[in-house]
Amino acid sequence: MNNPLLKEFETPFESAPFSTIKIEHFIPAIKESIAIALKEIETITENKEAATFENTIETLESCGKLIGRNTSLLFNLNSAETSDELQQTAQQASPLLTQFQNDIRLNQKLFNRIQTVYQNEDREKLTEEQRTLLEKEYKSFVRNGANLATESKEKLREIDTELSQLSLTFGEHVLADTQSFLLQIKKEEDLKGLPPSIIEMAAEEARSREKKGWVFTLDYPSYVPFMTYAENRSLREKMSNAFGRRGFQDNPQNNNETVLKIVQLRKNRAALLGYDSHASFVLEERMAQSEENVQNFLNQLTEKAKPAAEKEWEAMKTFAAENLNLNCLEKWDTAFVSEKLKQATLNLDEQQLKPYFPLEKVLKGLFEIVYKLYGIQFHENTKIDVYHPDVKVFEVHKNNEFHALLYTDFFPRSGKRNGAWMTSYRSQNKEQRPHVSIVCNFSKPTKTQPSLLTFQEVTTLFHEFGHALHGMLADTTYSSLSGTSVFWDFVELPSQILENWCYQPEALELFARHYKTDEVIPSEMIRKIKKAAYFQQGLQTLRQLSFGYLDLSFHNQNAHKIKDVKNHELNQIAHLQFTQDTSENCMSTAFSHIFQGGYAAGYYSYKWAEVLDADAFESFLENGVFDTQTAAAFQEHILSKGGTQHPMTLYKKFRGKEPDPSALLRRAGLV
């Protein structure tokens, strides 16, 4: 087979030649890539010379480039442009890759050499980055079973293989349930309350499916506005229940057993490695350090947020009863009532904002903001291959030199999972610049207007772009310490801090322009946007904290006692919720962050990083939001350094002190 995945990419900037890659190329290429990588490992283990940093650690770091490239392509496509065939290929590849990882991590000869270097290398002769790499490699082997007895190593292999497949299965089930539901509306009166742009989008969705009337789906650009604006309460209930049933129905996609298996296997794996819980295993390599510290962190924020949330809920109930004839709020009412209350108290209608946020102008303004801060420029390159017509590619330049490739993929479609994320097709190291991608699910353009973003979509774009900056501005020697390869509760700092510019008048003037008139957003609207940032912060904070508590509970010392996912969820978060439970719904069975993504025992990190970003942004506020010296310091100590040093060391180098937890409470208006 003439397989492009087994060659160097002879393309601009060695970008992926998507149009020449076929699904049947992946498995043969992955098998061959694994064989090549194992031969590279063998050259290390069979080396007759004494183990040194250069001939062991540094050589190991450079192994497996081909397998890394090919698996990135497979799993990125499986998230953004999947099909039944691609999902089957990912399921086939997963055990091969798990076995490959275990073949490395459980290779006794290799570990003996690493241990020799770890114990005998003169650390003073190594750079700070080399010392970090040595520490990381040694710990990675120990934490993945290098010191286990042979029988336990085999058990670890079995667990890892099963976990990798269960994770894929979980995601496939959620995607299938998401895409199997649609709400077809045939009567125009059932559209009451919905903005014209959303109605037009639903009409186009119906036409694309060859259906009459209007079609709404569980994709966020369709689901969220429906739940926010539709006045037909019974239809809101129908949509809400469909969303809440994902992974929890009496069908082949039910994720109950999948969740229980994942939880039990993670607990077993941790015990095998000598840890009380999966959380203990994970948090050893986090800023938070321990389960107890995370629990205390969540409790402290709950103590501050819950009284505010209770007042906000009472205000919602009173408003709903007096103005909307709703005397008992259900979960399908909350977004609707919240929006009506915001309109009444702040005189702010999100739909009035949308014309000022056409995607193209927002993106162009975002490019200008990061140019002002970090001196990087973006030029679209239409000749670089893409995996879907919606995808665009930009060359990123700094000091008139090529610095990175940025792929953007903004609209929902069949085969693309919900949500928004940043990913990488090629990492950065001393020999190569990175290729990064941001993937979102924004409202599509229609025949009469461009893609107009809600303000929440604007902040989502800035958030993912912050992750992308972490990748694009990386400047390290080794890929495994580059960009977003940092402690998980530090990785959200670059993304969350960039969201702050969405609220700054100097920044909004660069991108918030009416799509018809090019008029800059009025200053009165900017004031309302800033006020809206404080709106129902108690309720919003409590919602995030409930996810953090739930995540921790699935991975703590008692996780193995969970017998019923739904009952467990209720016991964990009922005291933080104000609406009645819906028996046919379960959030956990679609909690992709922790059962498909990498946030297991780490969901708290969103709030943890908010503390960092609130404190860090105060530095910009003190010196000016476009102050180049502050930006240069943030780039030097945070964005470019990746995981080359402990995150608190990097943070203190930027800020001159440890973060002040009250900065988050001040920004949220909770103190």
Residues of the chain with pLDDT under 50: none
Q: Residue 656: CB partners within 8 Å, gap ≥ 6? A: none
Distance CA 238, CA 332 (A): 9
Cβ–Cβ under 8 Å, residues 94 and 34: no
DSSP assignment of 12-58: GGG---GGG--GGGHHHHHHHHHHHHHHHHHHHHT--SPP-IIIIII
DSSP assignment of 95-123: HHHHHHHHHHHT-HHHHHHHHHHHHHS-G
Q: What is the DSSP letter of 250?
A: S
Cβ–Cβ under 8 Å, residues 167 and 259: no
Does pTM surpass 0.85? yes
Distance CA 463, CA 468 (A): 9
Note the pLDDT tens digit of each residue in 464-481: 999 999 999 999 999 999
Q: What is the DSSP letter of 291?
A: H
Q: Residue 441: CB partners within 8 Å, gap ≥ 6? A: 219, 220, 221, 410, 411, 412, 416, 418, 419, 420
Which DSSP helix (H) or strand (E) runs through 214?
strand 214-216
pLDDT at residue 671, as a whole number: 72
pLDDT at residue 1, as a whole number: 62
Q: What 3-state DSSP class applies to 39?
A: helix
Q: Which domains does the chain have, with CATH numbers?
A: 4-147 (1.20.1050.40), 181-244 (no CATH), 355-533 (1.10.1370.40)
Q: Which residues are catalytic?
A: 464
Cβ–Cβ under 8 Å, residues 592 and 171: yes
pLDDT at residue 665, as a whole number: 83
Note the pLDDT tens digit of each residue in 533-552: 889 999 999 999 999 999 99
pLDDT at residue 350, as a whole number: 84
Q: How far is CA 665 from the centre of its chain?
A: 24
